[in-house]
Structure 1
Amino acid sequence: MNYDPQPTTSPVTVCPALTLPVEIISKIFLFCVSAGDITSELGNPLNNPPFVLTKICRYWRLIALSMGPGFWSNIQLEFGGRHGRRTGHIDSWWLSFLKTWFSRARDQPLTVVISNLNHIDPDQGLVPLLESHRLQWRDLTIKLPFNRFYQFAPQEKLPILERLVLGAHAIPPMVHTPVTAFQMAPKLKHVCLDGYLRPSQFILPWAQLTSIELTAACGEDCLECLRQASRLISCSFGIHGRDQSLGSVPPHRRVASLALSGAAPTVILPSIRMPALEDLDIVGRSLNKEELSRIPLFVSRCRCGLRRLRLHFISELMTSAAIELLEALPSLETLELAATGASTIRTLFSSLSRYGEPFLPFLRNLSLSHHRMSDDNMRSMFEDMAGLLVRRSAAVPEHVQLQSFSLTIESERTVLSSRIIQKLQELADRGMDLNIRNRRERWI
Structure 2
Amino acid sequence: MASPSALRARLTEINEEMDALKARLRLLAIERRKVIGDLDCIVYPVLTLPPEITSEIFSHYVLDPHLGRPRTSTPSRGPFALAGVCQSWRDICFSTPCLWASLRIHPDQAWVADDFFHLKCCLQRAENHPLDLHVSACEPRSTLPMQIYSILSHYVPQIRAFTFSLDTPFSFPNEEIGGRVPLLTKLTVNITAKNNTPVMVTAFRDAPRLREVCLSGASLRWISLPWIQLTHLEYSDETVPSCLQVLEETPNLEVLDVSLARSHSDWVVVTARYLTLPRLHTLRFSYDP
TM category (shorter chain) comes to 0.7 to 0.9
TM-score, structure 2 normalization = 0.73
More helix by share: 2
Correspondence 1:77 to 2:105: yes
Of 57, 67, 77 in structure 2, the residue corresponding to residue 31 of structure 1 is 57
> Is residue 136–residue 160 contact of structure 1 (8 Å, CA) maintained in 2?
yes
> Is residue 160–residue 187 contact of structure 1 (8 Å, CA) maintained in 2?
yes
> Is residue 127–residue 148 contact of structure 1 (8 Å, CA) maintained in 2?
no
Aligned equivalent of 1:156 = 179
Count of aligned pairs: 249
> Is residue 220–residue 238 contact of structure 2 (8 Å, CA) maintained in 1?
no
Aligned equivalent of 2:236 = 215
Correspondence 1:51 to 2:72: no
Aligned equivalent of 1:185 = 207
| Residues 231, 59 of structure 1: alpha-carbon distance in 2 compared, 3 angstrom cutoff | same
Aligned equivalent of 1:260 = 285
Distance apart, 1:259 and its partner CA:
1.1
Please identify runs of 4+ aligned residues in structure 1 that moved more than 6 A.
none
Distance apart, 1:222 and its partner CA:
2.4
| Residues 216, 117 of structure 1: alpha-carbon distance in 2 compared, 3 angstrom cutoff | farther
Aligned equivalent of 1:357 = none
Correspondence 1:240 to 2:255: no
Q: Distance in 2 between matches of 1:161 and 1:60?
A: 34
Distance apart, 1:105 and its partner CA:
0.8
**Cα deviations by residue, 1:279-321 (Å, 9 ceiling, x for unpaired):** xxxxxxxxxxxxxxxxxxxxxxxxxxxxxxxxxxxxxxxxxxx
Aligned equivalent of 2:157 = 135
> Is residue 219–residue 242 contact of structure 1 (8 Å, CA) maintained in 2?
no
Code of the aligned partner of 1:95: F
| Residues 93, 60 of structure 1: alpha-carbon distance in 2 compared, 3 angstrom cutoff | same
**Cα deviations by residue, 1:124-176 (Å, 9 ceiling, x for unpaired):** 4211111111111111111134426135457611111111011223356353x
Q: Which runs of 5+ in 2 are unaligned?
A: 1-22
Bigger mean CA deviation after superposition, 103-112 or 26-35:
26-35
Code of the aligned partner of 1:150: P
Q: Give the match's secondary structure for 1:159.
A: coil
Code of the aligned partner of 2:57: F
Code of the aligned partner of 1:222: C
| Residues 45, 257 of structure 1: alpha-carbon distance in 2 compared, 3 angstrom cutoff | closer
Q: Distance in 2 between matches of 1:205 and 1:258?
A: 21
Counterparts of 1:107-126 in structure 2, within 5 Å, are: 107-119=128-140, 121-123=142-144, 124-126=146-148
Code of the aligned partner of 2:154: S
Correspondence 1:200 to 2:235: no
Q: Distance in 2 between matches of 1:109 and 1:235?
A: 26
Q: Which runs of 5+ in 1 are unaligned?
A: 80-86, 265-444
Q: Give the match's secondary structure for 1:12.
A: helix
Q: Distance in 2 between matches of 1:89 and 1:262?
A: 40
Aligned equivalent of 1:421 = none
Distance apart, 1:25 and its partner CA:
4.2
Distance apart, 1:53 and its partner CA:
1.2
Aligned equivalent of 1:365 = none
Code of the aligned partner of 1:231: N
Distance apart, 1:119 and its partner CA:
3.5
Q: Distance in 2 between matches of 1:113 and 1:154?
A: 14
Code of the aligned partner of 2:193: A
Correspondence 1:166 to 2:189: yes
| Residues 95, 258 of structure 1: alpha-carbon distance in 2 compared, 3 angstrom cutoff | same
Structure of larger gyration radius: 2
| Residues 30, 172 of structure 1: alpha-carbon distance in 2 compared, 3 angstrom cutoff | farther
Code of the aligned partner of 1:108: H
**Cα deviations by residue, 1:178-235 (Å, 9 ceiling, x for unpaired):** 43211000110011112x1111111100011011111322323322331221111111
Q: Name which structure has the greater RCO, CA cutoff 8 Å, separation 6+.
A: 2
> Is residue 113–residue 140 contact of structure 1 (8 Å, CA) maintained in 2?
yes
Q: Give the match's secondary structure for 1:228.
A: coil
Q: Distance in 2 between matches of 1:137 and 1:45?
A: 23
